[in-house]
């Protein structure tokens, strides 16, 4: 709104088991990840409103799929997709209204290059 600008940020750490399958030149894997999360929100307001900041702890749980190509080389390409759940969901209250949960089930996608070392090619 013209009177209040709100921002919400979240940071998390995820760890968990990863299962891998080899299919020809591809390495396919899936992971179940979980860990702590911290969410903080700030509201910058113009008079007569007052700004505020709030921090809350939570957890994040996600399922991840990764594909790597080629699988037996020191340098490889990878693509991944993840569906995390942030618990509890983020609710923002501005004035008298409360928003719907924000980012409860976002989708993440990634592409990149990787390197292997240690002679496991």
Distance CA 71, CA 25 (A): 5
Q: What pLDDT shows up at residue 121?
A: 57
End-to-end C-alpha distance for the chain, whole angstroms: 56
Q: In this predicted structure, what is the pLDDT of residue 119?
A: 67
pLDDT of amino acid 111: 97
Q: What is the pLDDT of residues 59-113, one digit of tens each?
A: 999 999 999 999 889 999 999 999 988 888 777 776 666 566 555 567 889 999 9
Output the pLDDT for position 113.
96
Residues 6+ apart with CB under 8 A from 34: 14, 15, 16, 59, 60, 61, 62
Query: Model-level pTM?
Result: 0.71
Per-residue model confidence as pLDDT tens digits over 1-45: 777 888 888 899 999 999 999 999 999 999 999 999 999 988 888
Give the pLDDT of residue 105.
Answer: 66
């Amino acid at each position: 709104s013209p009177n209040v600008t709100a921002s919400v940020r979240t940071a998390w750490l995820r760890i968990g088991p990863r299962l891998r399958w080899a299919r020809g030149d591809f390495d396919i894997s899936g992971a179940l990840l979980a860990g702590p999360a911290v969410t903080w929100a700030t509201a910058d307001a113009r008079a007569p409103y007052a700004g505020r900041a709030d921090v809350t702890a939570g957890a994040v749980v996600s399922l991840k799929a990764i594909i790597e190509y080629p699988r037996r080389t020191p340098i490889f390409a990878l693509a991944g997709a993840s569906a995390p759940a942030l618990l509890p969901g983020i609710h923002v209250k501005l004035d008298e209204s409360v928003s719907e949960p924000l980012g409860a089930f976002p989708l993440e996608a990634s592409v990149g290059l990787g390197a292997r070392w240690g002679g496991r090619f």
